[in-house]
A and B are shown apart, each in its own frame.
Chain A
């Protein structure tokens, strides 16, 4: 049972490049989340998906887009990466109405 799987684990991008962070969960959860965590800071919610086909902005959505491809997968896209987006990105999932979220191991992204 893999839980929440994020790919890639590490990535270095040049300013202006684009990339998609992938997240998949195998727990049949309805809700999925994307967070970013800057050094020494708490997690900040980027986007949230309550169910397949729905997405909602979180605290810091600017510069990001998301796709809830199906119930299992929730991807995060950076269209034009900026150094300010250097961060660790966490994906999470939970059952609707129950906020016991399970987190992936994170993607460490550096934009130079």
Chain B
């Protein structure tokens, strides 16, 4: 599975969009991009995933570049409850979910 690179931390103002980048330059054709988040010390929570096309659900949007070497998770209207560690994971047929260090998002009032 391809490795991912994320910034260690980011701040966002409450009510603004939070844009979290992820680099996965070694991604292969059959690998998906998954995003999870971990709030405080709870178990991680699935957010969204995609292969090639941009995806949107009730929680977030996922923008994947045309060459698939990077992606951005967008939380359209961040709230204080979105303060968490966000993990970008690339996985394919191995089925192994390998978490990196993630990005700590701090949403500020």
Residue pair B45, A99 in contact (C-beta under 8 Å): no
CB-CB under 8 A for A88 and B101, given A50-B95, A100-B49, A102-B46 = no
A95 CB to closest chain B CB (Å) equals 10
Q: Which of B32, B44, B89 lies at the interface centre, i.e. has the most chain A CB atoms within 10 A of its CB? A: B44
Least CB separation from A31: chain B residue? B95
Give the residues from 9 to 55 in chain A that come closer than 8 angstroms, CB to CB, to chain B: 31, 33, 35, 41-45, 48, 50
Q: A45 — which chain B residues lie within 8 A by C-beta?
A: 96-99
Tell me the chain B residues, 60-108 only, with Cβ under 8 Å from chain A.
85, 87, 89, 91, 95-102
Docked pose: A90 CA to B44 CA in angstroms = 9
Which residues of A79-112 have CB atoms within 8 Å of chain B's CB atoms? 88, 90, 92, 94, 96-97, 99-106
Tally chain B residues at the interface, Cβ within 8 Å: 23
- For chain A residues 57-84, which have a beta carbon within 8 Å of chain B? 58-59
Taking the closest CB of chain B, its distance from the CB of A56, in whole angstroms, is: 8
B99:A101 contact, CB within 8 angstroms: no
